[in-house]
Amino acid sequence: MPELSNPNSETMTKKTNCRLVVGLFWGDEGKAKAVDVLGENADIVARYQGGANAGHTVYTGGEKFVFHQVPSGVLREDVTGVLGAGMVIDLPELVDEIRELKNRGIDATSRLVISSRAHLVTSLHKRIEKIQETKLGIGTTLRGIGPTYSDKYARRGLRIGQLVHKHGLEESVRKLIDSHRPFFEFAGEPVPTADEILTPLLEKSAFIEDMVDDVSLFLTDSIHAGKSVLIEGAQGSMLDIDWGTYPFVTPTSPALSGVASGLGIDPRLVEEVIGLVKAFTTRVGNGPLPTELIGEEGERLRGTGEHEWDEFGATTGRPRRCGWLDGFVLTCNCRRWGVDKLFLTKLDVLDGMEKARLCSAYKKDGKVLRAYPSTAKELELVEPVFEELEGWSEGVARKTKFESLPENAKYYVKRVEQIAGCPVGWISTGPNRENTIVR
């Protein structure tokens, strides 16, 4: 008998130039800047999960750009942006975002590919989340993300392809309303009408028709044709629905586990995983944050808000909770997601601090933990184990060479590498593209 060939066997040996950028904490690690820096030689930048709850901020050429649904890599004029099947798309806001970019000289209308399988956020979902948030207090962005994913997994959601092709669209909308009617009636709120839901979607559907395609086929063909692909995660690993600080999580898998389902590609095509870590830890909204600083030190890390890069949410404007770098989270997520290199951001914020502390482990009941606790209640009981490192008075801000950093700053970077078990390949020393050390 002739030998059977495996069409995917080449995947295991051929270099693909496909890289993933993933946040290792609770989001806001600086993924947009990393994608902007790493996207210099990329042909494609792809988003695979999340939606308009993302707030990816890039500073370049004296301008600030905030991306919510459009992949931030499209700032480079030769890059194609992909919105994967794992995303939930707020279509009116997406169209507004594309048009705003065009008004600012970034015309991405011919450089976007949208999955026909991506689900649609509707006005119904936003109203549901607003009602839920008053009861549950998760700390969401009120963008309708959670309810849209709930409908997706309940098999009653609306998808981009259905909107474009109009197949059974009105019937699906009526069924969606009927499924949520008891919720609105119980809450004493008016039930949305089909027109309220459909009209904003239909008004924008023609704008994106030519962008809709099979993302899985597009990406696989592109990778095998030698194109360079950068995959852009949203939110952060500690917000992962399975591995994050449940229930204070996002309804997706923001890490490596979400790539295959969100983009429909063989995960073995991802050649390098780049983990984003901030020089200190932040979190927006409610939920555990073991290294949180309350008082003057926390405010020092957060900033006053006078600078656009201070620690206030790009999507909501809410002040972020701040604390020392959580090395235990770093260790766990580098192991879980097979991180190859780190992109360390905001090292310059530690300039001028007399001491810099680093959490290297958790203790519970006097014992050092090996596994990250699975419940929020357990996390309330842990005791962070801190190392105190010497700070530096000389600034690292805007430096572009590792050799020019103060010795204590170099040691801080090396200690991060030791805790993570992988090298720091890039260091951000300021908000702009050029404020980056490449090692």
Residues serving a catalytic function are: 28, 56
In contact, 421 and 414? CB cutoff 8 Å: no
Distance (Å, whole) CA 366 – CA 291? 17
DSSP H or E stretch at residue 199: helix 194-208
Question: Between helices 123-136 and 194-208, what is the axis angle to 10°?
Answer: 120
DSSP H or E stretch at residue 196: helix 194-208
CB atoms within 10 A of CB 185: 11
In 3D space, the residue among 150, 429, 204, 193 whose CA is nearest the CA of residue 309 turns out to be: 429
Give the three-state DSSP class for 239. helix
In contact, 56 and 35? CB cutoff 8 Å: yes
In 3D space, the residue among 239, 241, 260, 243 whose CA is nearest the CA of residue 46 turns out to be: 260
**Is beta strand 341-345 parallel, antiparallel or unpaired with respect to 272-278?**
parallel
Distance (Å, whole) CA 281 – CA 278? 6
Identity of residue 398? R
Give the three-state DSSP class for 81. strand
| DSSP structural state of residue 50 | B
In 3D space, the residue among 152, 195, 187 whose CA is nearest the CA of residue 170 turns out to be: 195
CB atoms within 10 A of CB 351: 16
DSSP H or E stretch at residue 332: helix 327-336
| Tokens at 299, concatenated | 């405010």
Give the three-state DSSP class for 384. strand
| Tokens at 358, concatenated | 């680093």
Distance (Å, whole) CA 390 – CA 388? 7
Half-sphere exposure of 255 (CA within 13 A, CB side): 25
Residue with tokens 């003057």: 296
Name the phi and psi angles at 305, rounded to 5: 100, -5
| DSSP structural state of residue 134 | H
Residue 365 makes CB contacts below 8 A (sequence gap 6+) with 381
